Chain A
Amino acid sequence: MSAQHFENPEITFQPDHSGGTGKIWKIFWVLSVLTIIELALGYFLYAKHGELSYATVLSTKCVIGILTIAKAYYIVSVFMHLGDEVRNFIMTIVVPLILFVWFIIAFLSDGTSWKNLRNTRGGSRPAETEQVEKAAAEHSAH
């Protein structure tokens, strides 16, 4: 059980691994509890299906989404030890992921827009024959 020693020129400051497994088990319980809350909210949506207002459903789903991001944070920060790395390195991973914020907003609103266009027939031009007929009708009206 001697501590590991590696002669790696890339690592200037050796990480300290003397800690126990307490933190790992603590995060396990955090993840489990978050998952159980998510499941309870999911079951709430199922059990009350059709009785809830649109705003309630949407906000419950948002809460589930936020809990998911919290789980992701704990997995990446503690289980993957990213939280223990130097700040420079953390930033090279986390900053590009900010693109997802734009990505999600842009695409989901695009999806909603498609739905609205489809439901209202907005954005679709009348077929060519209809245009001709319409023009002919307008012409004869004069």
Chain B
Amino acid sequence: MSATIPAGTKWWSGGKSPFNVSYGKVMMWYFLMSDAFTFGAFLISYGTIRFSVNHWADPNHVFNSFPFAGHANLPLAFVSLMTFILIFSSVTMVLAVHEGHHMNRKGVEKYMILTIIGGLGFLSCQAWEWTHLLTGEHVAMLNDGTLSVLPTTVKMNPWGEALSSSEIMTALQKTSHEQLVAIANTLHHGAEGAHHAVETLTNQELINQIASNTEFHATHTGPIAFGGYFFGITGFHGFHVFSGVIINIVMYIKTKLGHFDQRGHYEMIEKAGLYWHFVDLVWVFVFLCFYLV
């Protein structure tokens, strides 16, 4: 699709743009380059902190669930879905740009709608994943040596190293009745009748019940920076996806109203496309740094 440019063209001799690109597109590229440095700085800062501690949260343990799959252990599954949604919406976006080159308004409309749906699908996945982490229930040992049921937030997370069974027994002895009930309840996975049954048990009965459960495992609390980096970076990326969806909706409406036909070209679709592909590009690296390695 590149232009046929005569060999030996003197770009810098004056009278023409040495870049052969419109001002708007040049500036979109430079904005995206600066944004790449912002994301790069975030990810490298994350990497630095991750390299500076002896133990980091294992992504295969943190991200191992899938909507409606209950407690099944499915590492990498949900994030693959998110990745393919974003790749596919990138393809529909580039198809929209392609239709724009041929001044085909109906084609642009169709592919913009598909791109918007892909973006919303990705955001929904991210909303589910955040909710799952923020309301998650995992047992971890606090600094005071007691066990507690923790979610993953920017202040705390349960993704430290596993405790040995003797460490668990010592910690259980120190743990309050309230927390023992909460821990026992995580083992019943919220069965309604069981909830009331455990509250009436004594501490020792609760400890026996918890310790005899083969599914029970507990960890140290995880590296505190994990939550901040995860929610910060995926949140910043998610905000880019969100603004990308808004831009795409505006572009869809403008296409529908025939603004680009009047203008004689669909360059705005190309610029929105550049932004959208950039969002996909950043995800490729977020996917690498948080989920794969």
State the A residues within 8 Å of B (CB).
Answer: 1-17, 19, 21, 23-25, 28, 31-32, 35, 38-39, 41-43, 45-46, 49, 61, 64-65, 68, 71-72, 75-76, 78-86, 88-89, 92-93, 96-97, 99-100, 103-104, 107-108, 110-112, 114-115, 118-119
Contacts and interface: CB of A to CB of B under 8 A. Distances in A.
B76 A3 contact: no
A9 to B, nearest CB: 8
B101 interface: yes
A46 B20 contact: no
B292 interface: yes
Interface residues of B, number: 70
A96 B36 CA distance: 11
Interface in B41-65: 44-45, 47-54, 58, 60
A71 B283 CA distance: 11
Contacts of A65: 288, 293
A11 B22 contact: yes
B87 A32 contact: yes
B47 A86 contact: no
A11 B284 contact: no
Interface of B: 1-5, 9, 11, 16-23, 26, 29, 33, 36-37, 40, 44-45, 47-54, 58, 60, 75-76, 80, 83-84, 87-88, 90-91, 93-95, 97-98, 100-104, 264-267, 270, 273-274, 277-278, 280-281, 284-285, 287-288, 291-293
Contacts of A103: 40, 44
B19 A19 contact: no
20 contacts: A4-B265, A6-B265, A10-B16, A13-B4, A16-B3, A21-B98, A25-B91, A35-B87, A38-B288, A49-B58, A79-B94, A79-B277, A85-B2, A86-B11, A89-B21, A103-B40, A107-B47, A111-B47, A111-B50, A115-B52
A10, A41, A114 interface centre (most CB from chain B within 10 Å): A10
Contacts of A88: 11, 18-19
A42 B76 contact: yes
A71 B20 contact: no
A96 B288 contact: no
